[in-house]
Amino acid sequence: DYHIPVSGGIAKEPPMHIVHIAVEMAPIAKVGGLGDVVTSLSRAVQDLNHSVDIILPKYDCLKFNHVKDLHCQRSYSWGGTEIKVWFGKVEGLSVYFLEPQNGMFSAGCIYGCKNDGERFGFFCHAALEFLQQGGFHPDIIHCHDWSSAPVAWLFKDHYMHYGLSKTRVVFTIHNLEFGVNNIGKAMQYSDKATTVSPTYSREISGNPVIASHLHKFHGILNGIDPDIWDPYNDKFIPVPYTSENVVEGKRAAKEALQQRLGLKKADLPLVGIITRLTHQKGIHLIKHAIWRTLERNGQVVLLGSAPDPRIQNDFVNLANHLHSSHHDRARLCLNYDEPLSHLIYAGADFILVPSLFEPCGLTQLTAMRYGSIAVVRKTGGLFDTVFDVDHDKERAEAQGLEPNGFSFDGADPAGVDYALNRAISAWYDGRDWFNSLCKKVMEQDWSWNKPALDYLELYHSARK
């Protein structure tokens, strides 16, 4: 069993100093869930009175308007170049930005350069050098995915015995799909390793790069930041709401969404999809669900973009087709748009997540925070957080929860249909019941309250 027990006493341990070395951070450099987790886990741990710093590359494409008091602190020479160290505050967190003067992070993007591996390897080494030269003595260095995995072995090879001896390295796998070599090596060199849900930890435990390290490997569920995602305090939605006025708040948000996207202003079941468009996310199931929803006289809004131009093109064609055949009931927005994502979370009745695999998934958690009902495939973190109203009562109760959504097993259209048809029928057949479900899911706690304690327990155990 890879669960980690929660110790009620851990919050009372003396403060630790944790440094994240990462290549994404919401909202200034976010591509997917990794960016959300770096920010929200750090905030939760900091709120428990520990000290947290983040080291990030100073990309030219950072959203600088979200960085407070940014200033250049110093510079150091390393790796054949001068590296400027900038400091600023992001969502209340202290962030050090490394800017090598060789232009390595002035590529206009976070990922997508031919030499990403080399760029991030350089960054990891530069970050350790910065900690060493700056006289930092963190208790924990936390690195993430293939991109900052090199921290684990560079630390052991070059820094552990040279000034950073009390530091321990924790490595988190957000997605095993990418960079398995790096991940395998970090699994070997890190003191503790985690992944982002208990079910995903079991799903990948047989993988050769994981299998020999199960003794130090734990599945800890991600949370969402309830202040960053808060329908009562969200400048992108028209009426603030809590579970008390969820019906009114969501109705206003749905109308605003329909208005903004030029959809028919009607009381129809609205299915939202917010996702990177990649194979992992179940593209064929997404397409099928769009057609099924339209057939059931619902509305569909998809917000997503594809890193692969062929997939992007495919969806552009689908969008053109749908926008003429169903112009008042379907809208595909094929870009990245954070403000629009808020309005969809609030205005949709359902958020569909039909992933083929999903390490944790944040969209279903955010959906619930906004009182939207998750319709998901039973995999990874989706399995751990969504409990089917017809089938998972006991499994939910074992977690102290009530059922909160709809789910399916297969990876074929019949699977999606099974969940989506029940969801849409429930909407048509019993609005009172449906509204009470929305209220109920809003009251479930998918924040970091519990998982942050699990991480503290893990950090603590790494130091023993």
Per DSSP, the three-state class of 361 is coil
Identify residue 108 by its one-letter amino acid code. Answer: G
Q: Among all residues, whose Cβ is closest to ligand ADP?
A: 33
Residues numbered 246 to 275 that lie near ligand ADP (CB under 6 A) are: 274-275
Preceding omega of 57 cis (within 30 degrees of 0): no
Taking the complex as a whole, how short is the minimal distance between the CB of residue 175 and ligand ADP, in angstroms? Answer: 6
Pick the closer one to ligand ADP by CB: 64 or 336.
Answer: 336
Binding mask 274-293 for ligand ADP (x = CB under 6 A): xxx-----------------
Strand segments (E) across 51-135? 51-57, 68-78, 81-90, 93-100
Return the residue of 337, 439, 450, 461 that touches ligand ADP, per CB under 6 A.
Answer: 337
Pick the closer one to ligand ADP by CB: 168 or 377.
Answer: 377
Q: Which stretch binds ligand ADP (CB under 6 A): 157-165, 333-341, 404-412, 413-421?
A: 333-341
Return the residue of 305, 421, 435, 461 that touches ligand ADP, per CB under 6 A.
Answer: 305
Tokens of 294: 């339209």
Judge whether 26 and 36 are in contact, CB under 8 Å.
yes
Judge whether 211 and 205 are in contact, CB under 8 Å.
yes
Return the residue of 100, 304, 415, 451 that touches ligand ADP, per CB under 6 A.
Answer: 304
Taking the complex as a whole, how short is the minimal distance between the CB of residue 195 and ligand ADP, in angstroms? Answer: 12
Residues numbered 356 to 385 that lie near ligand ADP (CB under 6 A) are: 360-363, 366
Please work out the total of residues on this chain that contact ligand ADP, with binding judged by CB under 6 A: 18
Task: Give the residue among 244, 241, 222 at the shortest CA–CA distance from 230.
Answer: 241
Return the residue of 10, 24, 36, 129 that touches ligand ADP, per CB under 6 A.
Answer: 36
Strand ranges of the sheet holding 81-90, from the earlier edge strand across to the other edge: 68-78, 81-90, 93-100, 51-57, 17-21, 140-144, 168-173, 192-195, 217-219
Give how far Cα 293 sits from Cα of 27, 317, 423, 440, 444, Å. 32, 19, 10, 24, 27
Q: Does 167 bind ligand ADP (CB under 6 A)?
A: no
Classify residue 33 by burial, with Cβ atoms within 10 Å: 0-12, 13-18, 19+. buried
Taking the complex as a whole, how short is the minimal distance between the CB of residue 214 and ligand ADP, in angstroms? Answer: 24
Residue 388: DSSP 8-state: B
Binding mask 391-430 for ligand ADP (x = CB under 6 A): ----------------------------------------
Residues numbered 227 to 246 that lie near ligand ADP (CB under 6 A) are: none
The CA-to-CA distance between both ends of the chain, in Å, stands at 21
Pick the closer one to ligand ADP by CB: 32 or 413.
Answer: 32
Binding site residues, ligand ADP, CB under 6 A: 32-33, 36, 274-276, 303-305, 336-338, 341, 360-363, 366
